[in-house]
Amino acid sequence: MKHLARSYSIVILPGDGVGTEIVDAALEILEVVQDLMGRFTLVYEFHQAGAGCCQKTGFPISPEALEAFQRAHSTLKGPVGLPEVRRPDRTEGGLLGGELRVRFDLFANVRPIRLYPNVATPLSNREPDRIDYVILRENCEGLYLSRGVGITTPQAATDTLLMTARGCERISRYAFRLARD
């Protein structure tokens, strides 16, 4: 009896500018991995989001894209932002930080870095097990939490970095669990 491949729904938010190129390259890699593994199928659902979407619709992401984001197994999002897309206060428009990070409480930005054996890189002369770490950043507080609260004048600008005890504790606990595992 042949093993049936599991299917995973992936929402694709290509982003703006170079974001679309990055997402296209990532999709090529995912296709190769899918073919090599043969144990799963990726089903893509594309939605526009970011500065280009904001330019066209007035919103950085549509309600349909947000709904798809919630029900998907995963989301692949390219970088967003275009220099010419600005809000009335001249700050960058079309960003998704508040729309995704804050709305869905995506507090842990996890960036693993590992050197794999037999992979050509500028560091390939190193021992592979010597480079294996994770950069972890709190994703909902700090300057993200205080966005738009700063003060600007023609001569200067300030912003307030807001951190809560709850936010510091949960990202610290996440980091320790990650390190322990």
pLDDT for residue 165: 96
* The two structure tokens encoding residue 23: 């997402």
Sheet holding 6-13, edge to edge: 40-46, 6-13, 74-77
- Distance between CA 69 and CA 13 in Å, rounded? 9
Q: Coil, helix or strand for 1?
A: coil
Domain boundaries, the chain: 1-104, 107-181
44 pLDDT exceeds 70?
yes
pLDDT band at 158 (very low <50, low <70, confident <90, very high): confident
Question: Between these two residues, 35 and 143, which has the higher pLDDT value?
Answer: 35
pLDDT tens, 60-70? Answer: 999 999 999 99
Amino acid residing at 169: E
pLDDT tens, 102-112? Answer: 889 999 999 99
Question: Between these two residues, 55 and 90, which has the higher pLDDT value?
Answer: 55
Q: Following DSSP, what letter does each residue of 2-30 receive, concatenated?
A: PPPPEEEEEEEE--STHHHHHHHHHHHHH
* Local structure of residue 153 (DSSP, 8 states): -
pLDDT tens, 108-129? Answer: 999 998 887 777 788 777 776 7
Task: Write down the pTM of the prediction.
Answer: 0.80
Q: Following DSSP, what letter does each residue of 92-126 receive, concatenated?
A: BPS--IIIIIITTT--EEEEEEEPPTT---TTTTS
